[in-house]
Amino acid sequence: MPPAGADGPPLLLLIDRRDPDVRALLTPLGDLLNEGERQRLDLLRGEGDGERFLLGRGALRLILGTWLGRDPAGLMLGKGPHGKPELLSPPPSGPESGELPLRFNVSHSGDLILLGFHPRRPVGVDLEQRRPVPEWQGIARRCLPPEESDAIGTLPQAQREPAFLAAWCRLEARLKARGMGLFGPPPAPGETDPEAWTLVLPEGYVGAAALA
């Protein structure tokens, strides 16, 4: 499990749904979902959407339950104001003892599911399968800092879309760490912008993790 100190790095777990060992866990992890999660699973019709949700939510429950010494299926999970998953049933040493609750985040794309955990600090993760983004310049101008958008534009043509996706993942990870949506306000005066790291991932994917 992650170190107890606030300065420790996040614990990151990468799941590849193509792995035979992972596929063998589909049924047992699915057994950990509650009724609401099963109903949500039944509504997912896109290719791979159901498996990504099942593996992400099932693994999240399994790790949190192990970390807290609780029944994974009995944990109460909800969403923050901008959709970030939260633990609604705090650990025995949680807020009533003055300690911050566990923090975690989940992202998935293509065949990969990425989970991030930290015992003290808000964590954000984002994962993207590489793909053409012909409209990247307009998105970058609207969403990225001008210096970052300009720097991407100076790269060789073949490197611009991958660099944009990497920058997008760092942006999303920072916003998720802050519990904000895409168009949430910037950090308030005196508030430190979350630190973010670009991750080394399998070929065809980019991703980032951040801690607030």
Please state the domain count of the chain. 2
Q: Residue 70's domain is classified under what CATH number?
A: 3.90.470.20
86-126 pLDDT, tens digit each: 888 655 554 444 444 688 999 999 999 999 999 888 999 99
- Average pLDDT for residues 204-209, to the nearest whole number? 96
131-182 pLDDT, tens digit each: 999 899 999 999 999 999 999 999 999 999 999 999 999 999 999 999 877 6
Q: Is residue 208 part of a domain?
A: yes
Q: Is residue 165 part of a domain?
A: yes
Same domain, 169 and 202: yes
Same domain, 77 and 160: no
Which residues form the domain of 158? 121-212
Same domain, 141 and 96: no
The model scores a pTM over 0.75? yes
Same domain, 19 and 79: yes
Q: Is residue 4 part of a domain?
A: no
Q: Is residue 116 part of a domain?
A: no
pLDDT at 198: 94
4-38 pLDDT, tens digit each: 556 778 899 999 999 999 999 999 999 999 999 99
pLDDT at 100: 47
Q: Is residue 108 part of a domain?
A: no
Q: Is residue 1 part of a domain?
A: no
Distance of CA 83 to the CA centre of its chain: 11
Q: Is residue 46 part of a domain?
A: yes
